[in-house]
Amino acid sequence: MLTNSQLAELLSREADQAEGVRQRALRRAARSAFLWPDAAVALVQRGGALTELHGVGPFIASQLQRWIDDPPAALDDVPLIRRDFLDLAQARAVLDAQPRWRERLRGDLQMHTQWSDGSATVAEMAAAAAERGYEYIAITDHTKGLSIAGGIDETQMAQQEAEIEALNREALTPRVTVLRSAELNLNTRGEGDMDRRCLAQLDIVLGSFHSALRTKEDQTERYLAALRNPELHIVGHPRGRVYNYRAGLMADWPRVFAEAAKLDKAVEIDSYPDRQDLNVELLKLVRCAGARVSLGTDAHHAWQLEFIDLGLAAALKAKIEPDRIINFLPLPDLKRWVSSLRR
């Protein structure tokens, strides 16, 4: 039975042969397929219409029906730029088989607000997290070096911190602690773009590369430098890949993850559907190295907190040990881990 991920691959292949409006429609449908709550094949078997799925009109429905009726013989030769992406229906089936895994989750450690390029306020993201029963979330708006994403400077970060502190003094039910954080913009030498004294005031610091992401040369030294940056606790979306757009950076990953384990730093599973970075293949290497893992949705809207299922399922499929996932830590333990890194 074809999965939604496989249907996305077929839609992408069809788009590669198309042009103009048709190509754009096929590519949009391929990305939508990762967020369909049900398997398209199961929907058809129940007598439902494919047009019930988001992003599927009559033209796309006819394409999908053709493949469902006569599945291609092989889908093993998926290009690297589209390889190893889970769909939401697939992820939820994995998690439903191990319900205890989802119950361990205490928070989401990457999301954006109106302070940078998100659409919601800090309070709205906190309220959405409360509905999900979280203990904590980290607000990780972009920093000033990434001006294209509305990155904030030290003055704005201090203003945001005051807003977060005021929000934390209010009573949310159930209680959600909003952590002061940032997605620090890293240069190719692993250096951040914010004053160290400012970063020292944050509860936790995530840092990511946003430039020189198409180079073909080995980038191991770039990652080692980032991990050795004393201000950094989590390396965000490490490969920098984006579905059907950018394959991401290459490195000696066992060496990188071994260094993360040695320094007790975390590498992230960015659960945004187009990223899913780290993916299952690399997470198996993380498990072998014994490094810590962080989960973040990279949400830019409150509803996108549901993306966490993609990261949770990837960690489960890779058999990451629960004690290696920092989102499973109670808040006091999470803060103690950050303090130990700062010491």
**133-191 pLDDT, tens digit each:** 999 999 999 999 999 999 999 999 999 999 999 999 886 556 899 999 999 999 999 99
What average pLDDT does this structure show over 204-230? 96
Grouping H, G, I as helix, E, B as strand and the rest as coil, residue 127 is helix
In the 8-state DSSP scheme, what is residue 141?
P
| Burial status of residue 184 (CB atoms within 10 A of its CB: 0-12, 13-18, 19 or more) | buried
Contacts of 272 (CB under 8 A, 6+ apart): 237, 297, 298, 299, 304, 307
Grouping H, G, I as helix, E, B as strand and the rest as coil, residue 250 is strand
Task: Find out whether 8 and 30 touch, Cβ atoms under 8 Å.
Answer: yes
Nearest to 341 by CA among 264, 227, 260: 264
Contacts of 133 (CB under 8 A, 6+ apart): 174
Tokens of residue 262, six digits: 């040695």
Least confident span in 172-176, 321-325, 338-342: 172-176
Neighbours of 216 (CB within 10 A): 8
Residue for token pair 């203990």: 135
What average pLDDT does this structure show over 182-210? 96
pLDDT of residue 73: 80
Residue 84 forms beta bridges with which residues? Answer: none
In the 8-state DSSP scheme, what is residue 195?
-
Say what the pTM is. 0.96
Q: In whole angstroms, what is the distance from residue 179 CA to residue 165 CA?
A: 9
Tokens of residue 335, six digits: 């803060």
What average pLDDT does this structure show over 61-73? 94
Domains of the chain with bracketed CATH: 4-78 (1.10.150.110), 97-342 (3.20.20.140)
pLDDT of residue 1: 85
Instruction: Tell me the pLDDT tens digit for each residue of 3-26.
Output: 999 999 999 999 999 999 999 999
Counted residue by residue, the chain has a size of: 343
Provide, rounded to the nearest whole percent, the portion of the chain with pLDDT above 70.
99
For the chain, helix, strand, coil in percent to 5 are: 45, 10, 40
Instruction: Tell me the pLDDT tens digit for each residue of 285-305.
Output: 999 999 999 999 999 999 999
**CA triple 70-4-268, angle to 5 deg:** 150
pLDDT of residue 172: 59
Task: Find out whether 291 and 320 touch, Cβ atoms under 8 Å.
Answer: no
Provide, rounded to the nearest whole percent, the portion of the chain with pLDDT above 90.
95
Tokens of residue 213, six digits: 């992401």
Grouping H, G, I as helix, E, B as strand and the rest as coil, residue 76 is coil
Residue for token pair 């606790």: 233
Does the pLDDT of residue 76 top 90, yes or no? no
Task: Find out whether 27 and 244 touch, Cβ atoms under 8 Å.
Answer: yes
